[in-house]
């Protein structure tokens, strides 16, 4: 079968985006992995499938699959911004504020006049139901053993699970060594995204994320939200923070418990193409 796709990126976190609104699409895990493969397919960190909604209050539904293993996941921050650009640029909607159904509820991205996209990512969650590893007393951080050392991590769900640690300097943080160990740590039965955050000031962090099912990416939107939320809860950060990733800048705001996280950043179309699957 021939499949048309759009290649997009948000801060270098790259996506193959598929239009499941104009055509019915049901891809097997093998086909998804082929799309994600950088040698035998198109290559991307995640595949985004845009569909008609099931939820009565939503304009669209979008599904997210990690490119390396084809596994479906609940949420993707950079993907949410690319999703908005995609439906807007293809004329699938004229709205600039869009209600989107994800595997973890509705989120609301808005295409700004300056071309950036702001996404209301919903409230972060800290309950054991979302992150089973978190104890009932909901401490803001926990000590876990990673390789030979104890690491203090904050567990945050942005719909998908994150474990964030504070490091002195992200440039020499043990992302490649500890990322996969944290991702597969037995305390996280659903596996986890591992964040390494350097606090530059109360309003600026530097961040690297080893993503579940993808490895280290140039940026992770939900990872940025989770890192800022964990820094605010630890008393290290102000409510609005500039996040420097290897792929560029994001602005993240959070007013505190029960409030939504707002993420603003770019979304760019790279090219369109067709692949035989
Ligand atoms: N890159 C994304 C997150 C994609 C999903 C993640 N790897 C997971 O498995 O939860 C982002 O920008 O948030």
- Hey, CA dihedral for 45, 99, 114, 265, is it positive or negative? negative
Domains of the chain and any CATH numbers: 2-118+266-276 (3.10.310.10), 142-259 (3.10.310.10)
Find the 207 Cα to ligand 1 centroid distance in Å. 14
Instruction: Confirm or reject: Cβ of 157 under 6 Å from ligand 1.
Output: no
Find the 91 Cα to ligand 1 centroid distance in Å. 26
Nearest CA, atom 10, ligand 1: 160
Per-residue pLDDT of the chain (277 residues; tens, 9 = 90+): 899 999 999 999 999 999 999 998 999 999 999 999 999 999 999 999 999 999 999 999 999 999 999 999 999 999 999 999 999 999 999 999 999 999 988 999 999 999 999 999 999 998 777 777 665 545 788 889 998 899 999 999 999 999 999 999 999 999 999 999 999 998 888 999 999 999 999 999 999 999 999 999 999 999 999 999 999 999 999 999 999 999 999 999 999 999 999 999 999 999 999 999 9
Bridge-based pairing state of the strands 261-265 and 248-254: antiparallel
CA distances from 187 to 143, 147, 196, 274 (A): 11, 14, 18, 41
CA distances from 219 to 45, 144, 253, 255, 256 (A): 10, 24, 17, 23, 24
Mutational pocket test of ligand 1: of 9, 36, 66, 130, the residue with most ligand atoms within 8 Å of the beta carbon: 66
Find the 158 Cα to ligand 1 centroid distance in Å. 10
- Separation between Cα atoms, residue 178 and residue 250, nearest integer Å: 24
pTM here is 0.96
State the complex-level ipTM. 0.98
What lies within 8 Å, CB to CB, of 24 at 6+ separation is none
What lies within 8 Å, CB to CB, of 216 at 6+ separation is 175, 176, 179, 208, 209, 210
Secondary structure (3-state) at 168: coil
Give the relative orientation of helices 221-233 and 77-89 as an angle to the nearest 10 degrees. Answer: 140
**Residue located via tokens 């600026």:** 204
């Amino acid at each position: 079968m021939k499949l048309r796709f759009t290649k997009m990126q948000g801060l270098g976190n790259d996506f193959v985006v598929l239009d499941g609104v104009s055509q019915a699409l049901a891809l097997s895990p093998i086909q998804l992995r082929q799309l994600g493969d950088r040698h035998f397919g198109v290559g991307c960190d995640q595949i985004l499938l845009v569909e008609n909604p099931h939820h009565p209050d939503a304009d669209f539904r979008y599904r997210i699959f990690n490119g390396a293993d084809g596994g479906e996941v609940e949420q993707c921050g950079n993907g949410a911004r690319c999703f908005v650009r995609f439906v807007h640029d293809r004329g699938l909607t004229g709205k600039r504020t869009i209600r989107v159904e994800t595997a973890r509820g509705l989120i609301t991205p808005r295409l700004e006049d300056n071309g950036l996209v702001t996404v209301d990512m919903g409230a972060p969650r800290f309950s054991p139901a979302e992150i089973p590893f978190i104890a009932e007393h909901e401490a803001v951080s926990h000590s876990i053993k990673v390789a030979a050392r104890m690491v203090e991590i904050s567990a945050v769900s942005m719909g998908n699970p994150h474990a964030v640690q504070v490091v002195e300097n992200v440039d020499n943080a043990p992302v490649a060594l500890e990322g996969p160990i944290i991702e597969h740590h037995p305390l996280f039965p659903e596996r986890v995204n591992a964040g390494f955050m350097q606090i530059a000031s109360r309003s600026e962090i530097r961040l690297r994320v080893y993503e579940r099912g993808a490895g280290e990416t140039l940026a992770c939107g939900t990872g940025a939200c989770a890192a800022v939320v964990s820094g605010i809860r630890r008393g290290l950060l102000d409510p609005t923070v500039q996040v420097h990733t290897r792929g560029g800048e994001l602005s993240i705001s959070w007013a505190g418990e029960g409030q939504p996280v707002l993420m603003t950043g770019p979304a760019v179309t790279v090219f369109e193409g067709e692949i035989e699957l």
